[in-house]
């Protein structure tokens, strides 16, 4: 074994790495992205959580209680509900994560001091929401009037969608999106590159297929595969972890199909950018990391700064996590979550157009 030969091979590898820009990008990009996301974007100190209030008492003290809850800067009251049905509809559609219910006998409860004066309804499908609500309920509210400031628990917390407070109920529905995001992007990231490396691209060029027909034809088999994966994950979650499916199965499959198509088009765009399958897998991995960490799958979405939330809005997994939790846990219908559905449709259209345009350019 000669040192000179080893150094020669080492020098050759370094020169190859220097010419491989995607690899160099990953060497620098992955640590930078992780440091920025974990140090800046991911934050468990949630502020301005969307809330809705049902004030059935309509007294000065009830309005004081609402003002003090908002003063914590943890809950931002977006609107006032006229009835309990309206409040529950807002929470079911995901418009609000916390509902504040002040009963009609609020003043009597304040004077008696033997019952909670209000109730917080919390979406138990979102990570961290229950801890936030418990923190609000433990605050010494009412210190302005001094009537019930000495009581340690003035507000009752009721967890909706996950009354047993099980972690599996929070994780498993969103895990459908995480697994689909990983597999679908990887499946299609090497699609065009694979045809080129195998020598099949020239054959496809000679066929009467248009760019759109070729792209859609490559997507459809993977859409079916993704729906099979959705079924498998849902069955495992239902029978092994007792995760309920409160919404319609049809809505779940339509939402999953839309998300699968959106992630597949992202993979196609990556496939038109990469020159080799290895580069395609590298680029796919670079997109998966922000999707998983910024989508609200494991960390509170509301705790992220505005810039990180803006970036997360560009990722399809962010919207599918809201859709799947709404259908599976809150029993919402797909039309009730139309903002996230429209954003997925827009992402699908834009990515498909980019993939078709880039593939047409390469054909030229």
- Contacts of 148-155 with CB under 8 Å at 24 or more apart are 148/110, 148/113, 148/117, 151/113, 153/116, 154/116, 154/117, 154/118, 155/116, 155/117, 155/118, 155/119, 155/120
What order of strands is seen across the sheet that includes strand 49-55? 75-80, 49-55, 98-102, 118-123, 155-160
What is the DSSP pairing of strand 118-123 with strand 98-102? Answer: antiparallel
pLDDT of 254 reads: 95
Q: Which of 235, 299, 244 is nearest to 40 (CA)?
A: 299
Q: Which of 221, 171, 181 is nearest to 344 (CA)?
A: 181
Pairwise CA distance, residues 324 & 254, whole Å: 11
Contact criterion met (CB below 8 Å) for 163 and 123? no
Pairwise CA distance, residues 259 & 323, whole Å: 10
Please give the chain's pLDDT, 364 residues, in tens.
677 777 777 777 777 767 766 666 667 777 777 777 777 767 767 777 888 999 999 988 888 888 888 888 888 887 899 899 999 999 888 888 889 999 999 888 888 777 888 899 988 887 777 777 887 777 665 555 555 444 445 788 888 888 887 888 888 899 999 999 988 888 888 777 776 666 666 566 666 667 667 777 778 888 899 999 999 999 999 999 988 899 999 999 999 999 999 998 898 888 888 777 777 887 888 888 888 888 888 777 877 888 888 888 999 999 999 999 999 999 999 999 999 999 999 999 999 888 888 775 444 4
Tokens of 47: 């502020």
- Tell me the domains of the chain and their CATH numbers: 49-160 (3.40.1710.10), 167-363 (no CATH)
pLDDT of 202 reads: 57
Pairwise CA distance, residues 319 & 332, whole Å: 14
What is the DSSP pairing of strand 75-80 with strand 98-102? Answer: unpaired
């Amino acid at each position: 074994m000669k040192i000179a030969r080893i150094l020669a091979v080492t020098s050759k590898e370094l020169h190859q790495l220097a010419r491989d820009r995607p690899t160099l990008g990953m060497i620098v990009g992955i640590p930078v992205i992780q440091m920025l996301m974990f140090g800046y974007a991911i934050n468990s100190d949630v502020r301005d959580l969307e809330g809705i209030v049902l004030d059935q008492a309509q007294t000065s003290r009830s309005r004081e209680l609402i003002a003090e809850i908002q003063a914590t800067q943890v809950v931002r009251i977006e609107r006032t509900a006229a009835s309990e049905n309206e409040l529950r509809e807002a929470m079911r559609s995901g418009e609000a994560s916390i509902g504040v219910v002040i009963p009609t006998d609020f003043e009597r409860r304040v004077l008696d001091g033997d019952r909670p004066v209000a109730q917080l309804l919390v979406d138990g499908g979102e990570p961290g929401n229950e801890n936030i609500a418990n923190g609000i309920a433990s605050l010494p509210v009412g210190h302005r009037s001094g009537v019930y400031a000495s009581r340690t628990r003035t507000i009752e917390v009721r967890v909706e969608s996950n009354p047993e407070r099980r972690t599996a109920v929070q994780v498993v529905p969103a895990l459908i999106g995480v697994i689909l995001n990983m597999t679908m992007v990887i499946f299609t990231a090497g699609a065009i590159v694979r045809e080129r490396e195998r020598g099949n691209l020239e054959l496809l060029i000679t066929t009467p297929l248009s760019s759109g027909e070729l792209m859609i034809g490559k997507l459809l088999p993977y859409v079916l595969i993704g729906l099979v994966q959705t079924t498998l994950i849902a069955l495992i979650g239902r029978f092994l972890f007792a995760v309920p499916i409160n919404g319609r199965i049809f809505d779940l499959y339509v939402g999953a199909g839309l998300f699968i198509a959106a992630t597949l088009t992202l993979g196609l765009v990556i496939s038109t950018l990469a020159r080799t399958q290895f580069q395609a897998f590298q680029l796919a991995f670079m997109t998966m990391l922000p999707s998983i960490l910024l989508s609200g799958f494991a960390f509170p979405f509301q705790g992220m700064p505005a810039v990180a939330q803006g970036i997360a809005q560009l990722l399809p997994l962010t919207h599918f996590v809201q859709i799947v939790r709404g259908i599976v846990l809150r029993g919402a219908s797909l039309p009730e979550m139309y903002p996230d559905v429209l954003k997925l449709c827009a992402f699908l259209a834009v990515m498909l157009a980019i993939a078709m345009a880039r593939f047409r350019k390469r054909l030229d």
